[in-house]
Amino acid sequence: MHKINLSGDIYFLGVNDRRTALFENFWPLPNGVTYNSYLIVDEKVCLIDTVERKFSDDLFEKIEAIIGKRPVDYLIINHVEPDHSGAIRAVKEKYPGITLVGNKKTIPIVTNFYGDTENSLIVEDGGTLDLGKHELSFHTIPMVHWPESMVTFESETGILFSNDAFGSFGTFGGAVFDDEVDLNLYEEEVMRYYTNIVGKYCPHTQRALVKLENLKINQIAPSHGLLWRSNLSWILERYQKWSSYSTDNGVVIVFGSMYGHTEKMADAIGRQLANRGVKNLRIYDASKTHISYIISDIFKYKGVIIGSCAYNNEMFPPVEALVREIEHKGIKDHYLGLFGSYSWNGGGVKNLEKFAEAVKWEIVDSPVEEKGALKEEKYAALVALANAMAGKLVEDFGK
């Protein structure tokens, strides 16, 4: 079996999952996902994180190809979410003398999921573990993205085992390291992973980035996706940008429409924005495009325009789900426009206005609401809304 080294006696044990359709049973995985585990072979053998439990046999096959029947002494648990910890029971059965290593918040969660944790070692923030030639240090990064989340740093090689931080959706197509792929083709899945899985915790991510600046990092080995050894600045700069809510010049238009009238309003806005020179323009049907792709682009672009038809005196349900997710994630610093239509009674725009009050984004112009089919007067109002948004973008970004 081909062995993949990060450095000398540090090995990559990751597996591809091309069959699971939804990550956390919610986020689409058109390109699959990886579960990354690592092995350090020293005076003591150390396994860093496991894999989703259905891949336990693959994990053991990779370990045995490296160390044969030698036991594993330590299992570092950076994060207890089952896509990383799912093989813990199998690991304990195969290596009954193994010591589970985690922080004071880790072990109780492991107990809740997997039972007995009697043979465990609790490490402090900044604490170390000596394996022989290699010394590991542990650094908590709470809420990136669970309260027990931590990273493990190997001081000799400068490898940071970063758990969910700096990870991505997508499987390996042969390439494992960042310098083996075209990162431009990879960026969408890196960003969709961050914005949807970690994005609610941007302030915590900012604190983690400051904390990790003190480490002399040469490689980043996350629990999902590419391993970073040549382009650390690429991923670090993006995490800094995304977690500080910095945005690019562009507009995301999202609509919910039953019979096409609200959709025509979205197209009218989009056409005028294009006339005004807005080149980064995305129009999404909330009923058709999964929320994860929309959220990712909202993180990316400064302007957001949301439209909803009325549905039982409320917003159209897919639009309601989107705005609740925006509120839940606490996304900040956007320009906002609102529009919608109704047949016999309102509700779509009225409830979008409540969302606007809650999210506290800057509203660029008065909401536009039409009764029935789009007419000239409201068409002109949509053009004015688009012009107001374009004007705000020019103020921020220039032409």
pLDDT, one tens digit per residue, over 248-285 is 999 999 999 999 999 999 999 999 999 999 999 999 99
* Structure confidence at residue 129 (pLDDT): 98
Closest CA to 335 of 302, 365, 359: 302
Q: Is it true that domain 251-392 has CATH number 3.90.1150.10?
A: no
Using the predicted structure, report yes or no on whether residue 165 has a pLDDT greater than 70.
yes
Q: What's the DSSP call for residue 59?
A: H
Using the predicted structure, report yes or no on whether residue 331 has a pLDDT greater than 70.
yes
- 3-state DSSP call for residue 239? helix
Euclidean distance between CA atoms 91 and 99, whole angstroms: 11
* Structure confidence at residue 1 (pLDDT): 65
* Structure confidence at residue 151 (pLDDT): 98
For strands 10-12 and 38-41, give the pairing.
antiparallel
Euclidean distance between CA atoms 330 and 143, whole angstroms: 14
Question: Are both 4-243 and 251-392 of the same fold?
Answer: no
In CATH terms, 4-243 corresponds, of 3.60.15.10, 3.40.309.10, 3.40.109.10, 3.40.50.2000, to 3.60.15.10
Using the predicted structure, report yes or no on whether residue 12 has a pLDDT greater than 70.
yes
Q: pTM for this one?
A: 0.94
Residue 102: in which H helix or E strand, if any?
A: strand 99-102
Show me where the domains of the chain are located: 4-243, 251-392
Q: Give me the mean pLDDT over the 298-304 stretch.
A: 98
Closest CA to 37 of 179, 189, 178, 152: 152
Q: Give me the mean pLDDT over the 305-320 stretch.
A: 96
Q: Give me the mean pLDDT over the 103-116 stretch.
A: 93
CB 224 within 8 A of CB 274: no
